[in-house]
Homo-oligomer: A and B are copies of this chain.
């Protein structure tokens, strides 16, 4: 017979898979000799068995529960269901990963009329006993039978009104006996059965109900959000009840072994004397700080302090503990790794490292890479935020907070910002021309678009706060409206939080983040264990400077098209695109080369002596075409064409599926003069920088390659143009030529490509699109259905799909290495800044990840994590 039920003494902290987090930690405490109420854990296996068995507890499980219960009775010297010495039980969920509040709990199990009566007599505390009993009836009805507890609460409210009571505390012992009676009547009237007086039925039904709660709506949603597999199931902890509300010598609360907000090494928490856990949550009474326990019950306090230190040492991390004091006796109910703010996580990790409690590696692993963001971006004043109303919630597309005056047009934003005003740019969606306006804004709010929409990508690159896809809002006649009639005009204040996605229709103060010495020391530790580089995706000198400051070891992706986004430049770019002949195109290119060269020279110099990967023109040309009447008119005038002619050309460039259209290296094949211009710009920039005394490493990257001949064609143009210029200049300049690997076919023929290139950079955005056949711009429309139905549990554009896209990458690397073992391997898709994907990149042997500026710190920490966690592999 499979073992489904474990006494606490049979478990330990490493058995989370079977016992759940709570059960495993309780077992560990029991083993450490810490006082914990007696009990046992019904395993996650039992949960899965329950579901397999058509949502019924099998005979095996029932039997094992009974046997373990007997042992608990022996230990506790009480008996479940025995009116004269009753054992009361709590039944709590506890999954492998923490899912706070998502699943159900039932307390005071084991009461019935007879037991309650006897207990009231024996304890001489009738009030306490019937308060517990009426709570059991309510919780049982709610959790086991699905009868909403509101019906009981309403009765209680009316009862108190009739008695003119103002608080539960006014209820007398007799009141509670009466209420208990009424609750049983409500139970029967609504459920057409009696509340079960058989305590074993209570127990079996309660365990079953907790298992069922694994699949309640909010638990499913929580798992989806947190990437927790449905298959894990939950464990159930059955434990002797202890009561913090028995006397003035009793109490209950929560404590942390260190301050979770600041990280200071101080005992931290709060408690209530003579209360139950529920009372803390209900907010009826204000809890006291844990320090007060020192004077209330000095012995208990000292015992608690030593337990906390013991647990911290044992777990090598800050602990979050629940406790109850019953008549002066301390019971630990739960301990777990405590959640903390980003600054606290650094402080705690570094302190523990300095204390010698943990190793360098352990200190690094304590800090969640995703939390680092918080240290870099402005945040709203916490006190102020508490009283502000969230009007809408979009996607948390780029972290940080912003507050400023609404502006609906990029040009207007620039103008207002130049006049010293803080501006939030609000757009239906952004397009490349908005980029300068974005730069001048405090933050961006878009009505449409996902986490990888243009606005989101650009904002993350600039470290601007961005909320995207706030579809509850709409833009109507230059006003921003919600569905409840709230309207903001241009110039009104708005606040947006890119870390939560929240939108506020009012002004909120901001606070600056600070980089502490401790943080810098932490990052030094991080780098000392890292075995993969972090580069940046950066297109401007400002971004590059910031990135270098943030620790980027080079530019892994410079999108040359972004260099043409300012008004003057895009005008010349449009002339190039609309050119009818090679001559016209070359004339326009002659103007563009100047911009390109200056920008690249700047980047090379800022980054020197680190490498700079320059990707040639990539997006479908029509992305740059004029859209407004005025833009078309201006262009027509300058090109000596009629508006109609321009429109015809624009129409010719339209594509059904531009993502799979005329873009990437296909542009260089159809218009080799573009590649010639870009090569001249790169090489001349490098020559200028060398002449100014810089050591530069330009790496030219060809996008969207699908074929060997195609690669050779474009590479030939580059090499011929570059070598001629270098020879003419007589300088010593080495450059690399490499390719993006972003189509399935490039992965398949990677050996051929590797023979002809110095580096690969995986473009996992496009690779994911093509491997799945998901258009990033459209997929959100149907992917929600996939999430809702549990078919997908994460966004494949955020975290690399290891099973599919990852397989292609792995086989591409294996084939490439066979023919060119020195090939440099990187990644520059959005995945490069995400911790799980970074771990994958490490495992498949990439040399670097290249992410947007404000994800560099996250990435550096994630790389360190990967380096530590995969030590055995490397």
Contact = CB atoms under 8 A, between A and B. Distances in A.
B778 A660 contact: yes
Nearest to A671: B785
Contacts of A779: 660-661
A805 B745 CA distance: 7
Interface in A812-856: none
A340 interface: no
A749 to B, nearest CB: 6
A775 B669 contact: no
Interface residues of A, number: 48
Contacts of A777: 655-657
A774 interface: yes
Interface string A764-806: 0010011111110111011001100111100000000101110
A514 interface: no
A161 interface: no
Nearest to A659: B657
A674 to B, nearest CB: 12
Nearest to A660: B775
Nearest to A653: B781
A276 B240 CA distance: 115
| Listed residue (A657, A670, A709, A791) with the most chain B CB atoms within 10 angstroms of its CB | A657
Given A789-B713, A791-B669, A655 B772 contact: no
Contacts of A770: 660, 744, 770-771, 773
Contacts of A669: 782, 785-786, 789, 791
A507 B742 CA distance: 51
A300 B662 CA distance: 62
Contacts of A660: 657, 659-660, 769-770, 772-775, 778-779
| Listed residue (A655, A773, A807) with the most chain B CB atoms within 10 angstroms of its CB | A773
Contact of A657 (B706, B771, B775): B775
A792 to B, nearest CB: 7
Contact of A772 (B656, B713, B745): B745
Interface string A668-710: 0110000000000000000000000000000000001011011
B662 A790 contact: no
Contacts of A778: 655-658, 660-662
A660 to B, nearest CB: 4
A743 interface: yes
Contacts of A805: 745
Given A661-B781, A713-B789, A706 B744 contact: no
Interface string A630-664: 00000000000000000000000001111111100
Contact of A710 (B661, B749, B791): B791
Nearest to A704: B773
Contacts of A179: none
B790 A709 contact: yes
A808 interface: yes
A166 to B, nearest CB: 47
B656 A792 contact: no
A513 to B, nearest CB: 36
A666 interface: yes
Copies per complex?
2
Interface string A741-758: 011110011000000000
A574 to B, nearest CB: 19
A807 B774 contact: no
A78 to B, nearest CB: 47
B748 A803 contact: yes
A766 B770 CA distance: 10
A808 B713 contact: no
Contacts of A743: 771-773
Given A670-B782, A713-B791, A772-B743, A706 B804 contact: yes
Given A669-B789, A782-B670, A786-B669, A744 B808 contact: yes
A796 to B, nearest CB: 9
B808 A772 contact: no
Contacts of A666: 782, 785
Contacts of A782: 661-662, 666, 669-670
Contacts of A803: 748-749
A456 to B, nearest CB: 15
A26 B442 CA distance: 82
A669 B790 CA distance: 11
Nearest to A744: B744
Interface string A26-70: 000000000000000000000000000000000000000000000
Nearest to A784: B670
A220 B171 CA distance: 100
Contacts of A655: 775, 777-778, 781
Nearest to A711: B791
A665 to B, nearest CB: 10
A626 to B, nearest CB: 19
A682 to B, nearest CB: 23
Contacts of A670: 782, 785
Contact of A808 (B658, B709, B748, B775): B748
A154 to B, nearest CB: 33
A604 B709 CA distance: 47
| Listed residue (A744, A781, A807) with the most chain B CB atoms within 10 angstroms of its CB | A744
A706 B773 CA distance: 8
A777 to B, nearest CB: 4
| Listed residue (A706, A742, A789) with the most chain B CB atoms within 10 angstroms of its CB | A706
A769 to B, nearest CB: 6
A670 B786 CA distance: 8
Interface in A388-418: none
Contacts of A704: 773
Nearest to A752: B803
A661 B774 CA distance: 6
Nearest to A806: B748
A854 to B, nearest CB: 27
8 contacts: A655-B775, A658-B778, A669-B785, A709-B792, A713-B791, A743-B773, A744-B770, A745-B804
Given A666-B785, A669-B791, A745-B801, 8 more contacts: A656-B658, A662-B778, A666-B782, A744-B770, A748-B771, A748-B804, A748-B807, A770-B771
